[in-house]
Structure 1
Amino acid sequence: MLAVLAMSAASTTIAEAATAMRCSHQLPPAHHIAKVVDRWAAEVEKLSEGELDVQVFGADSLVKANDNILAVAKGDIECAFSLNFQWGKTLPLMNVTVGPYTMSSIEAWKKWPTSEAAAFLEEKLADKGVKNIAWMFQTNVSVFTSKGRALLKPEDFQNIKMRGLGPAFDRSLIAMGASTASMPGSEVYQALATGVIDAAITDVAAAYSRKYYEVQDHFTVVPVLAAYLHGYVTPSWYEGLSDKSKAALKQAGEAASGWAIEASQAASADAPKQLEEKGVKVHIATDAENEAFKAAMQPAFNEGFAEETGEDGKKLLELIEKIQ
């Protein structure tokens, strides 16, 4: 009996020792980066030897996408993952990779997690009340989705209403004649289905995993922007962790950066064919078409980004040049 009680007490102590880490994100389960987040969570638990109990809540099931940043900063939850452009006006520096045709090199992304540019952004994130713990490259291959006709040149965007990605990038869409609406990724499918918006721009793999092929019939593949998901935690919660748990987060974050690149490259390679198999028309933009998009979009984005970020933006672009 005493042995049973002792074992029970030991089990209780172990259970109490595990620190809960609730992590919210917006991606659907089938998304390639959602799977990387799950793999990261398992790695954190393994490396922390059970000190951290990582509970992942995807698809907006815990906190809505637009509320994740504030929820972590306030300590309502311990952890979240957001797409860079969800920082919007709060920290527009995060949108630097969204610049049309600015950072599409995979080699640059491999250098990103330990780069001066990433460290610079981590300092700015700390100033906004969160501690960054992981960088997960999501895509450098996007699609312009539409219904009835393909979007192949800037003139095709006249009078088209699209989901926007943030003020600076939206300028580049507006420069081509589109109007934009702000909404999280989880709401785009319904907006397309009901005609609230006419078209969208998204990661080519996300267009497949979110089933855009059910509500759009033309997909133009363009290397127009690079997007990433990043993980962050409440600083006060982080400071209360053991050195082992902190090291586990660091090591798992570095590993996940590599997994994300591998998963994203595979997803980007497979997605165009997967979309075609659903009966939609997929067009890979030609060099000439990309040059026309770049000429129309880049100046408008650069002007907006400069206005939003000032000297910090200029410095960040210089740091990014070092890893290109």
Structure 2
Amino acid sequence: MNRYTAMLAATLLLSTSAVTVSQAATPMRCSHQLPPAHHIAIVVDKWAAEVEKLSEGELDVQVFGADSLVKANDNILSVAKGDIECAFSLNFQWGKTLPIMNVTVGPYTMSSIEAWKKWPTSEAAAFLEEKLAEKGVKNIAWMFQTNTSVFTSKGKALVTPDDFKGIKMRGIGPAFDRGLTAMGATTAAMPGSEVYQALATGVIDAAITDVAAAYSRKYFEVQDHMTVVPVLAAYLHGYVNPAWHEGLSDKSKAALKQAGEAASQWALEASIQAAADAPKQLEEKGVKVHIATDAENEAFKAAMQPAFAEGFAEETGEDGKVLLGLIEKIQ
């Protein structure tokens, strides 16, 4: 090979490498806390495939579930700082950072499936998206997870407010936990991935969780009584780093928007099915499942709602009032 041929070959090699780099898919690392079997984790995987398809390979969506990339409590900051591109969090994980995200966990506040069908395109959702942007993340997907929860316990079912006196249980956030405290419980904050171990070792006596999560996280191995209650509604939402999003092509941005809209519907369908299946699945594992009666739900509501309302008002101020008004429009 003469000098000219060698130079030409090197030039062609560099040119080919540049083309390959320019055509490489943009990595999109997405962290979430849910175990692989959870119905919403499955929806997230389906969403990821849809994003890749709609972006025609421009985005390489890499999903890391079960706290395998970033711990649940660190997801929001990691995305805001740009350490990772994307994450999914449960609404109550915003805690005191953005307490209006907890509006749906108000006891018996938003348990209507019809309202959730309207949620992704509602003024209420748009209002929250603006607030999320102010906190440094861009929302890309709303995934309804549950309007059916369980109070889990061992040895005795929790069916009246008095049953909560003296027990220590997993809480989900300051405002909601006020309702548990009002019934006499002591609460401990922890992500869902840590609850099983805490129950198994006696760090806590009881928990509240999505009825389907009680099954997918195998709470039936450490708790033998579960009371099914429509006490709160929870959602997982997906968000990305705004600067990273701004650098995407119009095609990739459109792919994220379209896939997010589709995933909202998939999540609703999957959650309805999971809520229907889970009580029987838990019973098959030996759990004594009790479906709370109307009277029992009214007693829980009377005990918990005033305490939540007081805490939510203190935490959210005028924004909370505005958001509650917007939610009224879709009830």
For 1:211 and 1:12, the matched residues in 2 are separated by: 49
For 2:287 and 2:211, the matched residues in 1 are separated by: 13
**Counterpart position of 2:188:** 181
Aligned residue identity for 1:214: E
Write out aligned runs for 1:89-238 (5 A). 89-238=96-245
**Counterpart position of 2:58:** 51
- Deviations along 1:168-222, one digit per CA (max 9) or x if unpaired, are 0010000000000011100000000000000000000000000000000000000
Cα shift at 1:16: 4.4
**2:243 partner SS:** helix
Cα shift at 1:240: 0.2
TM-score normalised to structure 1 length: 0.97
Aligned residue identity for 1:145: T
Q: Determine if the alignment matches structure 1 residue 25 to structure 2 residue 25.
A: no
Aligned residue identity for 2:155: G
Match of 1:303 among 293, 310, 328: 310
Cα shift at 1:13: 1.9
**Counterpart position of 2:251:** 244
Cα shift at 1:280: 1.1
Cα shift at 1:138: 0.1
- Deviations along 1:246-288, one digit per CA (max 9) or x if unpaired, are 0000000000000000000000000000000001100000000
Structure 1: state its 5+ residue gaps.
none
**Counterpart position of 2:4:** none
CA RMSD across the alignment? 1.4
**2:132 partner SS:** helix
**Counterpart position of 1:261:** 268
For 1:14 and 1:285, the matched residues in 2 are separated by: 58
TM-score normalised to structure 2 length: 0.95
Aligned length: 320
**2:143 partner SS:** strand
**Counterpart position of 1:36:** 43
**1:198 partner SS:** coil
Write out aligned runs for 1:77-96 (5 A). 77-96=84-103
**1:279 partner SS:** coil
**1:136 partner SS:** strand
For 1:11 and 1:55, the matched residues in 2 are separated by: 24
Aligned residue identity for 1:203: D
For 1:191 and 1:274, the matched residues in 2 are separated by: 22
Cα shift at 1:9: 3.4
For 1:186 and 1:124, the matched residues in 2 are separated by: 27
For 1:149 and 1:200, the matched residues in 2 are separated by: 13
Cα shift at 1:14: 6.7
Cα shift at 1:17: 2.8
Aligned residue identity for 1:112: W
Q: Determine if the alignment matches structure 1 residue 270 to structure 2 residue 270.
A: no
**Counterpart position of 2:3:** none
Runs of 4+ in 1 over 6 A off after TM superposition: none
For 1:202 and 1:185, the matched residues in 2 are separated by: 8
**2:300 partner SS:** helix
Structure 2: state its 5+ residue gaps.
1-8
For 2:317 and 2:201, the matched residues in 1 are separated by: 39
For 1:81 and 1:73, the matched residues in 2 are separated by: 13
Percent of paired sites with the same residue: 88
For 1:237 and 1:69, the matched residues in 2 are separated by: 15
1:206/1:81 CA distance change after superposition, 3 Å: same
**2:278 partner SS:** helix
